[in-house]
Amino acid sequence: MNESQLRVRFAPSPTGYLHVGGARTALFNWLLARHAGGVFILRIEDTDRSRSEEAMTAAILEGMSWLGLDWDEGPFHQADGLERHRADAFRLLEAGHAYRCFCTPGVLEERRAAAGTTPDAYRYDRHCLTAVPAAEGERRASAGEPHTIRFQVPDGRTEWQDAVHGVIGFDNADIEDFIILRTDGSPIYNLAVVSDDVDMRVNLVLRGDDHISNTPKQLMLYRALGVEPPRFAHVPLILGTDGKRLSKRHGATAVGEYRHQGILPEAMTNFLALLGWNPGTEEEIFTVPELVDAFSLERINHKSAVFDPDRLLWLNGQHISRTSAAQLADGFVAQVEAAGLANGQELRARDQELHTLIDLLKPRARVLDDLCAQAGPYLAERVTVDEAAAAKHWKEPALAAERLERLRERLAGVEPWDEETLEGVLREEAEALGVGAGKLIHPLRLALLGVAVSPGIFEVLVYFGRERTLLRIDDAVENLRRRAA
């Protein structure tokens, strides 16, 4: 075995969906593994293997697959390690690092009340450590008396060099002798995690800041088990734009919801990577291979990250612009067909035109749905004129008709039908008429699309081609004549 090979894991609890924070933790671990040629392990921290846990796990795996976060080992299920967890607890017991505790919840509650502390502040008074010698504990356990197993917290301080925060330390006196095995024989979270991480030879644990308070307990367990602990890196919380911890109030928190909102997985990955990682350059757009290349533990911020949905949309727009029309085509055709805007098969048959259209719409799309939402005027047989736009750009219908007709004549004969030539012709016409180019462009846009905004008019002309352009101008002139009459 290669001892120096990085081994990291993502260990989600099956909550039924992949949360943005979890996805970020998964991504950071995955990037570190891919960057270093290490191993990325997936472990589901389920407490049992019921059908409902399986279903909740499936949603997490689906989210990870969508993001392209493939794992090298697993998915392992924590519930499958139960016997090992128990064996580790008994090893600790035999080595004198743990003891049996027969204090019942009722007795504990009485002592807490007598001590006058809140449940959070109460620390177990070690009654059974002194009152129940080991041999007696064994006897009572064999007789079936309900009890837990508690870890005996050593004196001193527990510190570690956190890869994100630097040295973090806790006084052991602040940590009670915590339970490692419950009355029903099931392991407590901290024991299961340590047992699994040891078993999977994890050598870097990167997880959310909310686990910092677990780390001293886990470190104590490593030491008591005689195992070298992994390195720890705790990534800062994700906050909403109001500075409060990210929650449903801020919008979607499940990765799957962003998928349904038309976010590309590359954009989501890019966005999540920047939630707490500083690339150290002005660059904001990263492809996945670029992230793999650039990502490093050293550049993870120790301050909390802010989840800004506008930034996600902006990044998504950038990624849509950079995605080839061929890659976007299937999704686009499916949406356009579902919206009743075109026949998918016919659209696919004219793939050159389809790709030109997607390229035309791409720069204005922030989510995938925007492509379809803008596509109507380009795919419709006939133009539907937006009256507000007409009131503005076809204010004098007779004049607009006259100008469009003149332009039509020029366009009928122009060669070649490309952006540059078309622009030249239009500008010449405008000059000949003694008006600014806009006085021709706006009415023409309305004639071609029926709306006031669009990508560059010359690109639009190229997309339609000569024949369809002339037909649309004819329709518009007819429409304008009616308006003038």
Is residue 333 a contact point for ligand GLU (CB under 6 A)?
Answer: no
CA distance 214 to 200: 19
Q: Which is nearer to ligand GLU, 211 or 468 (CB)?
A: 211
Query: How near is the Cβ of 204 to ligand GLU at its closest, in Å?
Result: 11
Q: Which is nearer to ligand GLU, 81 or 397 (CB)?
A: 81
Is residue 13 a contact point for ligand GLU (CB under 6 A)?
Answer: yes
Residue 248 known to be catalytic:
yes
164-193 residues near ligand GLU, rule: CB under 6 A: 193
Applying CB under 6 A, what is the total number of residues that bind ligand GLU? 7
The string of DSSP codes covering 164-213 is: TTEEEEEEGGGS---EEE-TTSPBPHHHHHHHHHHHTT--EEEEEGGGGG
Q: Given the residues 248, 303, 395, 439, select the one marked as catalytic.
A: 248
Q: Which two tokens stand for residue 24?
A: 């970020």
Binding mask 15-54 for ligand GLU (x = CB under 6 A): ------------------------------x---------
Q: Residue 77 belongs to what H/E stretch?
A: strand 73-77
Is residue 11 a contact point for ligand GLU (CB under 6 A)?
Answer: yes
Q: Which two tokens stand for residue 449?
A: 């699309």
Q: Which two tokens stand for residue 411?
A: 């366009």
Is residue 317 a contact point for ligand GLU (CB under 6 A)?
Answer: no
Q: Which is nearer to ligand GLU, 18 or 313 (CB)?
A: 18
The string of DSSP codes covering 234-276 is: EEPPEE-TTSSBP-GGGS--BHHHHHHTT--HHHHHHHHHTTT
Q: Residue 472 belongs to what H/E stretch?
A: helix 457-484
| Angle between helix 51-67 and 265-273 (nearest 10) | 90
Q: Which is nearer to ligand GLU, 208 or 344 (CB)?
A: 208
Q: Which is nearer to ligand GLU, 11 or 179 (CB)?
A: 11
Q: From the list 12, 187, 317, 443, which residue makes contact with ligand GLU (rule: CB under 6 A)?
A: 12
Q: Are 38 and 32 in contact (CB under 8 A)?
A: yes
Q: Are 269 and 70 in contact (CB under 8 A)?
A: no
Q: From the list 127, 211, 348, 439, which residue makes contact with ligand GLU (rule: CB under 6 A)?
A: 211
- Choose the binding region for ligand GLU from 5-13, 223-231, 336-344, 396-404 (rule: CB under 6 A): 5-13
**Applying CB under 6 A, which residues contact ligand GLU?**
11-13, 45, 193, 207, 211
Known catalytic residues are 248
